[in-house]
């Protein structure tokens, strides 16, 4: 009669404090700067009536109750959490949120929104985990310096590669020019060299006049004796 649907089971895993970690989707990871107001929001499931909504902060050594809202009464209950937390609680609300004004680095951590269904659904619990990271000024400056240093290093590397490429190109070009000049000088010297046994001919192939010395002969007929 107490459990008409049979026995209930729940598996509990115990982990060490230094190994405590819960995977959170990237869309549920919020990063903020110190001093700003941060709002964590979760949508209520639409598959059934919700009786209670609670917000908690999960730490390795303890779980702190932040707020609790009874949707059937539209009434919220304050907690003894040392941090000021603002939240909503009303009949028919479709989402729940908490507001942390002027966040600090100590506010970083894991938060979860817990939904408890009505007694007709056997008090089913569902949770949505969120992670808040509050950065400090030193981290921002270090990150900025790291990014700037990386950009400067990349620029210097590009300039170095460009300089080496230009010097190498000019050196190869100078070597090619020197080799070409040497070849041209050798060709010019070969063209200016004259073989003593060869006949001197003009470069255009034209014939030259040749003059020969020969004795003059008399035109008178010889007298016969």
Over residues 52-96, the pLDDT tens digits come to 899 999 988 888 999 999 888 888 887 888 888 999 998 888 889
DSSP state, residue 78: E
Tokens of residue 120, six digits: 């007709």
User: CA 196 → CA 1, 192, 193, 199, distances in Å?
Assistant: 135, 13, 10, 8
Tokens of residue 27, six digits: 């869309």
Same domain, 66 and 108: yes
Q: Which helix (H) or strand (E) holds 170?
A: helix 137-192
> What is the per-residue pLDDT for 99?
95
Q: Which pTM does this prediction carry?
A: 0.53
Provide the domain limits for residue 166.
Answer: 140-187
Same domain, 42 and 96: yes
Same domain, 120 and 158: no
Does residue 119 lie within any of the structural domains?
A: yes
Total domains present in the chain: 2
Q: Is 185 helix (H, G, I), strand (E, B) or coil?
A: helix
Does residue 194 lie within any of the structural domains?
A: no
Residue pair 51/117 in contact (Cβ under 8 Å)? The answer is yes
Same domain, 130 and 144: no
Does residue 155 lie within any of the structural domains?
A: yes
Same domain, 119 and 154: no
Same domain, 123 and 149: no
Same domain, 46 and 126: yes
- Ramachandran angles phi, psi of 177, nearest 5°: -65, -40
Query: Minimal CA–CA distance to 94: which of 126, 122, 71?
Result: 71
Tokens of residue 96, six digits: 């729940």
Q: Which of 116, 134, 152 is the last residue of a domain?
A: 134
Does residue 13 lie within any of the structural domains?
A: no
- Ramachandran angles phi, psi of 182, nearest 5°: -65, -45
Same domain, 173 and 88: no
Same domain, 90 and 159: no
> What is the per-residue pLDDT for 199?
47
Burial class (CB in 10 A: 0-12, 13-18, 19+), 96: buried
Same domain, 147 and 129: no
Same domain, 67 and 146: no
Does residue 30 lie within any of the structural domains?
A: yes
Helix and strand numbers, DSSP H then E, in the chain = 1, 9
Does residue 222 lie within any of the structural domains?
A: no
Tokens of residue 97, six digits: 């949120």
pLDDT in tens, the chain (225 residues): 677 778 878 888 776 766 667 778 889 999 999 999 999 999 887 777 788 899 999 988 888 999 999 888 888 887 888 888 999 998 888 889 999 999 999 999 999 999 887 655 556 678 899 999 999 765 455 666 667 777 888 888 888 889 988 888 888 777 767 666 666 666 665 555 555 454 444 445 556 666 666 565 555 555 555
Same domain, 167 and 121: no
DSSP state, residue 24: -
């Amino acid at each position: 009669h107490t459990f008409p649907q049979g026995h209930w089971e729940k598996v509990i895993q115990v982990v060490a404090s230094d190994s405590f970690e819960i995977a959170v989707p990237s869309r549920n990871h919020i990063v903020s700067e110190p001093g700003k107001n941060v709002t964590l929001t979760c949508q209520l499931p639409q598959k059934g009536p919700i009786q209670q909504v609670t917000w908690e902060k999960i730490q390795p050594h303890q779980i702190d109750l932040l707020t609790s809202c009874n949707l059937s009464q539209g009434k919220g209950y304050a907690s003894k959490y040392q941090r000021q937390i603002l939240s909503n609680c009303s009949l028919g609300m479709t989402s729940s949120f908490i507001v942390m004004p002027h966040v600090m680095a100590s506010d970083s951590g894991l938060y979860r929104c817990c939904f408890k269904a009505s007694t007709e659904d056997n008090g089913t619990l569902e949770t949505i985990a969120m992670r808040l990271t509050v950065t400090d000024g030193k981290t921002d400056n270090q990150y900025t310096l790291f990014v700037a240093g990386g950009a400067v290093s990349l620029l210097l590397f590009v300039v170095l590669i460009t300089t080496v490429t230009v010097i190498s190109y000019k050196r190869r070009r100078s070597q090619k020019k020197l080799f070409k000049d040497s070849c041209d000088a050798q060709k010019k010297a070969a063209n200016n060299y004259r073989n003593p046994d060869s006949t001197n001919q003009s470069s255009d192939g034209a014939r030259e006049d040749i003059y020969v010395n020969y004795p003059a002969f008399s035109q008178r007929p010889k007298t016969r004796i």
